[in-house]
């Protein structure tokens, strides 16, 4: 448990130098964003002492929701190649940390969250840190947010078994979607790209994370 003397800025610097730079995060704007956004504000107060560790941090009481470890999140965002004119959908934003990072890089961010309590926390904390380019919306994660799309980039904050056609259909031509896909230790980070209505996918690195609700494979019928 941290006390009032905890130097979170130093912990943030250690995270960037020890976890991000050493894992091939070279995008300087992304590194600056990770240095600036106070990750400790987006985790439960009792867990702020582990906010900068190389681990997924629990953020919700229901369904095992966790904030992706800093290195995995940074590698996903770097692979998405976010630019200053991009309109981004952040799926499973949880308490809003990933959205705050994306807001430093993109023109606008829609933060989608299915858990009402997490969405409310995201609105509160994003307002506190001045992430005014972010709009938090509530709804089922696999459905995305078509009314505010289409998007240049979609970031799916967690592990999925399948990506829904609804999400892929909300990408602009040339749009990119990044996520963790698979089951258990065999999961990988994936980059999807939409070009003239055709979507391609390729693995980009090995990674694990907490499963997001709604993205399980349909159950197979057995005779």
Mean pLDDT of 90-99: 97
HSE, side-chain direction, 13 A CA sphere, residue 209: 30
For a pLDDT cut of 90, what percent of the chain falls above it? 82
Q: CA-to-CA distance for 156 and 127, rounded, in angstroms?
A: 22
Q: How many CB atoms lie within 10 A of CB 117?
A: 14
Sheet-wide strand order for 87-91: 134-138, 108-113, 87-91, 151-160, 171-181, 188-195, 198-206
Q: CA-to-CA distance for 33 and 55, rounded, in angstroms?
A: 19
pLDDT of res. 222: 53
Mean pLDDT of 207-213: 90
Nearest Cα to 192, choosing from 135, 142, 153?
A: 153
Tell me which residue has tokens 């560790």: 53
pLDDT of res. 167: 96
Helix/strand number for the chain, H first, E second:
6, 9
Question: Would the pLDDT of 1 be above 90?
Answer: no
pLDDT for 108-158, tens place per residue?
A: 999 999 999 999 999 999 999 999 999 999 999 999 999 999 999 999 999
Q: If you count them, how many residues does the chain have?
A: 223
Domain ranges across the chain: 54-206
pLDDT of res. 105: 98
Contacts of residue 19, defined as CB under 8 A and 6 or more positions apart, other chains included, come to: 54, 69, 70, 71
- Strand-strand pairing, 188-195 and 171-181: antiparallel
| pLDDT confidence bin for 186, thresholds 50/70/90 | confident
Radius of gyration of the chain (CA): 17
Question: Would the pLDDT of 43 be above 60?
Answer: yes
Arch. (CATH architecture) of 54-206:
3-Layer(aba) Sandwich (3.40)
């Amino acid at each position: 448990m941290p006390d009032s003397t905890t130097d979170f800025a130093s912990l943030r610097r250690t995270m960037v130098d020890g976890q991000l730079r050493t894992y091939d995060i070279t995008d300087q704007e992304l590194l600056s964003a990770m240095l600036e956004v106070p990750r400790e504000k987006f985790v439960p107060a009792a867990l702020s002492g582990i906010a900068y560790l190389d681990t997924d941090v629990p953020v919700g009481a229901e369904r095992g929701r966790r904030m992706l470890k800093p290195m995995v999140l940074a590698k996903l965002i770097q692979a998405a190649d976010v630019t200053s004119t991009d309109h981004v959908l952040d799926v499973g934003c949880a308490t809003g940390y990933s959205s705050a990072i994306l807001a430093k890089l993109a023109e606008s961010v829609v933060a989608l969250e299915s858990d009402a309590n997490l969405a409310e926390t995201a609105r509160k904390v994003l307002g506190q840190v001045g992430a005014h380019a972010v709009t938090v919306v509530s709804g089922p994660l696999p459905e995305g947010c078509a009314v505010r799309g289409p998007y240049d980039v979609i970031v799916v904050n967690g592990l999925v078994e399948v990506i829904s056609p609804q999400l892929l259909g909300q990408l602009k031509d040339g749009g990119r979607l990044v996520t963790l896909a698979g089951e258990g230790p065999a999961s990988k980070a994936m980059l999807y790209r939409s070009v003239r209505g055709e979507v391609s996918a390729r693995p980009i690195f090995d990674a694990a994370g907490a499963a997001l609700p709604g993205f399980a494979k349909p159950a197979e019928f057995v005779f």
